[in-house]
Amino acid sequence: MTTVQGARARARIEITAAIKDEARRQLAAEGAAKLSLRAVARELGMVSSALYRYFPSRDDLLTALIIDAYDAVGAVAERAHADAVSTAPGDHLAHWTAVCRAVRSWAVAHPHEYALIYGSPVPGYTAPQDTVGPAARVGLLLVATARGAHEAGGVTPPPLPDGLAPEAERLAAEEAADLPPALAVALVRAWAQLFGLVSFEVFGQFHRIVEDRDAFFAAAAERLGREVGLAPRP
């Protein structure tokens, strides 16, 4: 139920968006640490104190950008997943790699926003509760691909070592009650490893090491899917 809003409310929405846009521009140009409220305000032709009407502090602006970034990468990943499901309904490994490639593409295209959400947390700053929903989207998508494959039968995650059994059952019960514990553990593992691959590429650790990044990542994503058990592991 979105009611018609007065000029004031509309202006507030537009100005808030303009602030975030300009902040994103500075983020892309200089990085998060050099994001300056005063510079944003200056560029928008207002005075710095006016900006505090829209964001109580610099951290709150960053939080808004973080949520937007989680939503952005989540959206492209969900779209890629949906496309893969519709074009190759039974190929669960393809669904998996489609999500992986979407995440990587977005990260490479928006390195600073990626760094904001998957890089070192900003000092003293603890993510507020608002971020957990958007932050979980990609992870839930990976669970969804695994669930699709599991329901179709034939998912074979690696066996669980004995010591990990209790943790695995707790994890499955809390996050995906319909999945076998070994699959839940393999998923969390692959989730972290996927972002390890993406982070190393975005943060430049592959400099002078990996040249054909597309081919390298494609192969890695496929291996990751096989390791989860979406296809045989040769």
Footprint on this chain of a second copy (rule: CB under 8 A): 30-34, 112, 115-116, 118-124, 127, 158-161, 163-164, 166-167, 170-171, 175, 185, 188-189, 191-197, 199-201, 203-206, 209-212, 215-216, 218-220, 222-223, 227, 233-234
Q: How far is the CB of 31 from a second copy (least distance, A)?
A: 2
Q: How far is the CB of 64 from DNA (least distance, A)?
A: 13
Residue 11: name its binding partner from a second copy, DNA, none (Cβ under 5 to 8 Å by kind): DNA
In our burial notation (b when 16+ CB lie closer than 10 A, e otherwise), range 33-63 reads eebebeebbeebebeeeebeebbeebeebbb
Angle between helices 132-152 and 92-109 (to 10 degrees): 160
Residue 87, interface with DNA (CB under 7 A)?
Answer: no
In this chain, which of 17, 21, 38, 128 binds DNA, going by CB under 7 A?
Answer: 38
Residue 48, interface with DNA (CB under 7 A)?
Answer: yes
Residue 6, interface with DNA (CB under 7 A)?
Answer: yes
Residue 208, interface with DNA (CB under 7 A)?
Answer: no
Residue 29, interface with DNA (CB under 7 A)?
Answer: no
Residue 25, interface with DNA (CB under 7 A)?
Answer: no
Residue 57, interface with DNA (CB under 7 A)?
Answer: yes
Instruction: For DNA, give the closer residue by CB, 54 or 191.
Output: 54
Residue 35, interface with DNA (CB under 7 A)?
Answer: yes
Q: How far is the CB of 28 from DNA (least distance, A)?
A: 16
DSSP state string for the chain: ------HHHHHHHHHHHHHHHHHHHHHHHH-GGG--HHHHHHHTTS-HHHHTTT-SSHHHHHHHHHHHHHHHHHHHHHHHHHHHHHHSTT-HHHHHHHHHHHHHHHHHHSHHHHHHHHSPPPTT----GGGHHHHHHHHHHHHHHHHHHHHHS---PPPPPGGGHHHHHHHHHHH-TTS-HHHHHHHHHHHHHHHHHHHHHHTTTTTTT-S-HHHHHHHHHHHHHHHHTSS---
Residue 28, interface with DNA (CB under 7 A)?
Answer: no
Residue 57: name its binding partner from a second copy, DNA, none (Cβ under 5 to 8 Å by kind): DNA
Q: Give contact residues for DNA (rule: CB under 7 A).
A: 6-9, 11-12, 15, 35-39, 45-50, 52-54, 56-59
